[in-house]
Structure 1
Amino acid sequence: MHMLYNSDSYAVVQIEMPSQDTPERGAVAVAQDLVPALTRGGYEIVDKFARKELFIEGALAEQFKEGVEALIESSPSIEEFDAYLERYAGMAQQPVVMH
């Protein structure tokens, strides 16, 4: 898990998990070369005011990542970044639960 963004309104965490069919060491020896293990994962977006979270993966996570990268190129303010996250936070259904 990597905390990517944390404001008064939102938090974004990147989650990477090793694929189930790869060893836990994170790499596979193939013909004396190390090949990085496949991973799967996505992004968890937490709306702090609504107290809801959303986990996105696959094509939606890729679209989110590309949008963030494009936004970063314009040196956004916190308000602009929060406005971008608000588009995804509207899909959040899972209530945030403290453990």
Structure 2
Amino acid sequence: MHMLYNSENFAVMQHMGDGHPHGGFEIVDKTSRREIYLAGLLAEHFQAGVERLIGDEVDEMHIDDFLSAYTTLAHHPVVLH
């Protein structure tokens, strides 16, 4: 697992392998305390969007806005063990 992004509102980790060529991405919405795991085509779509953002050299607010579009799908509460 690799931490890709960490702000006051979001954290994004990349999981390698997981049965998919690109692995998957876990997005944690720290404000709502929810998370979502993206794999397969959705993970590929997410990665392409991130690469476009990086190319545009956007600020943290734009990245957080981008991530919030994915976390609206998040239904799993964050549970610490």
Q: Quote the Cα distance in structure 2 between the aligned partners of 1:18 and 1:97.
A: 21
Which letter maps to 2:71?
A
Which letter maps to 1:2?
H
Q: Quote the Cα distance in structure 2 between the aligned partners of 1:69 and 1:17.
A: 20
Q: Identity of paired residues, percent?
A: 46
Question: Residue by residue, what CA displacement relative to the aligned partner does 1:14-57 show, whole Å, maximum 9, x if unpaired?
Answer: 001364xxxxxxxxxxxxxxxxxx75620000000000000000
Q: Quote the Cα distance in structure 2 between the aligned partners of 1:80 and 1:10.
A: 12
Q: Quote the Cα distance in structure 2 between the aligned partners of 1:18 and 1:45.
A: 16
Q: Quote the Cα distance in structure 2 between the aligned partners of 1:10 and 1:82.
A: 7
The structure where helix makes up a greater share of residues is 2
Question: Residue by residue, what CA displacement relative to the aligned partner does 1:40-98 show, whole Å, maximum 9, x if unpaired?
Answer: 62000000000000000000000000000001111010000000000001000000001
Aligned-CA RMSD value: 1.5
Q: Quote the Cα distance in structure 1 between the aligned partners of 2:18 and 2:29.
A: 27
Structure 1: 4+ residue segments shifted above 3 A = none
Structure with greater Cα Rg: 1
Match of 1:83 among 65, 69, 76: 65
Q: Does 1:48 align with 2:30?
A: yes
Q: Tell me, which stretches of 5 or more residues in structure 2 are unaligned?
A: none
Secondary structure at the aligned position of 2:25 is classed as: strand
The structure where strand makes up a greater share of residues is 1
Secondary structure at the aligned position of 2:4 is classed as: strand
Number of matched pairs: 81
* TM-score under structure 1 length normalisation: 0.77
Q: Tell me, which stretches of 5 or more residues in structure 1 are unaligned?
A: 20-37
